[in-house]
Amino acid sequence: MLARIAHELYWLGRNLSRAEHTARMLDGVFQADVQARSEEAGVTLSWGSLLAMMGGETDDSGVPHRDQVLRSLTLDADNPASVVACIGRAREGARTVRDVISQEMWESINTTNLELREGDLSERLRVGPYSVYQYVKERSALFWGLTRRTMLRDEAYSFLQAGGRLESADMMLRMLRVALAASGGGRDDGHALSLLQAVGGMQAYRRAVPGPPNAGPVVRFLLFERAYPDSVAASVDLLEQSLNRADDNPRNAEPVLRLLRLSADLEFRRRAEEDTATAPRLAEICEQVQAELGKVDRDVHDRYFAGAPAAA
Amino acid sequence: MILREPHVYRPQPGVFDEVFAPGGVPREYAEALVAELTKLGPAELAGAGRRRDAIFVQQGITFDATGEDGPVKDRPFPLDLVPRILPSHEWDHIKRGLAQRIRALNHFVDDVYHAREIVHEGIVPWQLIVSRPNFARQMHGIRPPGGVYCHVAGCDLVRDADGSWRVLEDNVRTPSGISYVLENRTAMTRLVPQLFNRYRVRRVDHYPQLLLAALRAVAPAAEGEATVVVWTPGSMNSAYFEHSFLARQMGVELVEASDLVVRDDVLYMRTTSGLKRVHAVYRRLDDDFIDPLEFRPDSLLGVPGLMRAYRSGSVALANAVGTGVADDKAIYHYVPEMIRFYLGEEPILQNVKTFLLGDPEQCRYALERMDQLVFKPTGESGGKGVFIGPSTPADELEGLRDVILRQPEKWIAQEVVKLSTVPTAGLDGTLAPRHVDLRPFAVFGEKIKIVPGGLTRVAMNEGSMIVNSSRGGGSKDTWVLDDGAGTDGDQASPDEVVNVPQSLPGLRYASWTGQAQQQQQTRAGE
């Protein structure tokens, strides 16, 4: 297929996935923040760290206000990291590839974009941000559901999936690294409920892991648990499968080889770090995995999009 | 607009209003709440109420009730959006009082089925104990792990006209309502987050973890290996929502009788890969139904042989069998004595003055004052059979007198407590005082832990003191305030450290096709 189209699809997946993860994190942090921190707050996200991880800058006082962060990361079209900006870019990308994706997929993303631009979002955000984030989550699920149901499993599908999964893994690692850094690294037994809330993984965790949601087990779950669809390991596997299908000669493809190695490496680390890993050690693993995924991203651009105009 | 002129909200004379002091001035801890409610206004509050109903119906947070026109199915759980605030010193008092009371009740259950010291001391008559419908002979001589019987307890508290707290009822069988406490809080943070401004409200969402830890602590299994289940009578039970909520929140199986089987004094559940041993059961059905071999033989909801397994110590039940003897309405009268006898302490929370009608002296006294007292049948729960003297017509009272005299030992009488009031939103969003009670929830594993607050139930009709949700009562989110100053809401707390790893890469973006090229594209196609 055309390198330019593959590039658009890959970034369509990335933008949508980024919007959803951002919405989930904002919702999770907001709900936690409205109430008092528990005595054993443990590993949490804060407004400041959320803003920083999304590349935003705090004002002079250095202490960001809740409403300011909510607004900036949700509605501010001038902030490229905001939810509306991500959805806007996804919509533009989808428009470019309307002939490749299904009509239903296009309509779902286009409607989402319209609603976010024209609805009275600012007011909704003021009275209760939950409804805004719920909308983004539902529309995102609708898009991916329609994709599975209506899109031909061709190369185009593979690049769309690959983008979505790479972004999921990257956002998850970003969140884990920021949360682990904020925990100070000393105690690693604090609760990490807020991390599960911020990705929507609370119930999955409780069904999968016996024992309380302490930081160590939660971070390991979000990193290594392949049975949880948003874990880093699950994303890496699906990313590898997508590229494997798309590539003419996967045995010879750097991104595929790199992902196969990373996938095996994650499994080895899971076994080695059973119950013993401290917060600094987990932070180190996250850093290494994220760096490796950065290389995968570069490999993908080099191998598949190099011919595309203005590819990064 | 009622709140813009606070004098329009009139606390009832002779009743303690928890938000407005007499004269209509907000109490200090409620000032910020009143300010936010004023800013919100009745119209927006009513709007939030409609969103709440829609969300609750969508999420299936409903229950069945008996309304004026007969049974109502799947009503959205009635949450009033005006929270009830408990300052931390009030809560500390309640918490200490409850823990004390539950310790004493637990001692009592142990004593009843073992040494019976409290009987030998002549404090509680044995005849009264064995005649209680929930006394379980089968429990004789059984001592569960750690000597804990009342793993889950909920006491109903009310506030009298002077603001003092009193225990109205104990519940150490299967108190329900905790799921609504958690769901109410979630709904409040979503629907009216602005009300939380300037408050630091203590969280409640760790309850499932407390319960799971307590069940694991009493399970006869090696650490980390206990299999815990929640046992429900079935999906037709009115509290099924709560059963499935707790199972989901704890991440354990929700089982029915047909899933369970006893083999060789060990309890198992049937799974796709054969029988799997169960170590601890949080059961949500009464003693009578759990084992047809030892209790009601006609029970279809029970597991034959369960008591045998329980006696052998291979499985823990929560709550233990036979705890109902302690929350009987006639035994209630003796709880202050129990606290003195078992703990050597003075009760921190007082009872409501109660008359046992089985005692001829007390019966005569109470029947002379029928129009001033509340009469309750001892074996019932959920407000069934209760009549309130002052609001019952005289001729009906005469009829009830005969009913009571036929079986006086089945009745108690209590002084009328003027329940405190909290502003409550009507359909149009205007506020009016409504009576409330409070049911806090305690979990007894290795220690007694109590979730901050509990379920506040509110009578939705003016002047009514019937708060039971099965009879049209509503509920409120209950806020226990954290000590220390509240934040401004939109301010980050000062201790927040923004500490982002140095090596965190910036977000990547696809490079855009240059603007110039876009312009050419538009022109080229014209």
Predicted-complex ipTM score: 0.83
B372: three-class secondary structure by DSSP: helix
pLDDT tens readout for residues B442-473: 999 889 999 999 999 999 888 888 887 777 78
Mean pLDDT of A192-217: 86
Q: Residue B486 above 70 pLDDT? A: no
Per-residue confidence band for A309, with pLDDT thresholds at 50, 70 and 90: low
Residues B85, B87: Cα–Cα separation, whole Å = 6
> Which one of A114-128, B76-90, B465-479 scores highest in mean pLDDT?
B76-90
Give the residue among B77, B76, B97 at the shortest CA–CA distance from B440. B97
Q: Does any domain span residue A56?
A: yes
User: Token pair for residue A51?
Assistant: 């803003």
| Residue B487 DSSP class | P
In the prediction, which pLDDT does B525 show? 65
Interchain CB contact of B91 with A (< 8 Å): no
Q: What rounded mean pLDDT belongs to chain A?
A: 88
Do B148 and B445 touch, CB atoms closer than 8 A?
yes
Contacts of B494 in chain A (CB under 8 A): 63
pLDDT tens readout for residues A47-58: 888 888 888 766
User: Between residues B62 and B299, which one has the greater pLDDT?
Assistant: B299
Per-residue confidence band for B14, with pLDDT thresholds at 50, 70 and 90: confident
Mean pLDDT of B10-31: 90
In the prediction, which pLDDT does B70 show? 66
Interchain CB contact of B511 with A (< 8 Å): yes
Q: First vs last Cα of chain B: how many Å apart?
A: 59
Residues A73, A121: Cα–Cα separation, whole Å = 13
Q: Residue A160 above 80 pLDDT? A: yes
Write the CATH number for B403.
3.30.1490.270
User: Between residues A157 and A311, which one has the greater pLDDT?
Assistant: A157
Quick one: closest CA in A to B223, which residue?
A211
Contacts of B202 in chain A (CB under 8 A): 35-36, 38
Strand partners, B474: B458
Counted across chains A and B, CB pairs separated by less than 8 A come out at: 136
Contacts of A6 in chain B (CB under 8 A): none
pLDDT tens readout for residues B237-290: 888 989 999 999 999 999 999 999 999 999 999 999 999 999 999 999 999 999
Element (H, E) at A110: helix A103-118
Q: Residue B516 above 60 pLDDT? A: no
Do B229 and B270 touch, CB atoms closer than 8 A?
no
Q: Does any domain span residue A283?
A: yes
Mean pLDDT of A18-46: 81
Do A159 and A6 touch, CB atoms closer than 8 A?
yes
pLDDT tens readout for residues B379-422: 776 667 888 888 888 888 888 888 888 888 888 899 988 899 99
In the prediction, which pLDDT does B419 show? 92
- Nearest-Cα distance to chain A for B508, in Å, is 9
Residues A202, A204: Cα–Cα separation, whole Å = 6
Pick B196's closest partner by Cβ from A34, A51, A203. Answer: A34
In the prediction, which pLDDT does B6 show? 46
Q: What rounded mean pLDDT belongs to chain B?
A: 88
Q: Does any domain span residue A311?
A: no
Q: Does any domain span residue B365?
A: yes
Q: Does any domain span residue B209?
A: no
Range of the structural domain that residue B396 is part of: 353-416
Q: What percent of chain B has pLDDT over 70?
A: 90
Q: Does any domain span residue B397?
A: yes
- Count how many domains chain B has: 1
User: Token pair for residue A35?
Assistant: 């109430």
Range of the structural domain that residue A287 is part of: 3-304
Residues B169, B324: Cα–Cα separation, whole Å = 12
In the prediction, which pLDDT does A275 show? 66
Q: Does any domain span residue B401?
A: yes
Interchain CB contact of B213 with A (< 8 Å): yes
Separation in Å, CA B110 to CA B325, B326, B338:
11, 10, 12
Residues A146, B238: Cα–Cα separation, whole Å = 37
- Count how many domains chain A has: 1
Q: Residue B86 above 90 pLDDT? A: yes
Per-residue confidence band for B57, with pLDDT thresholds at 50, 70 and 90: confident
Q: Does any domain span residue B6?
A: no
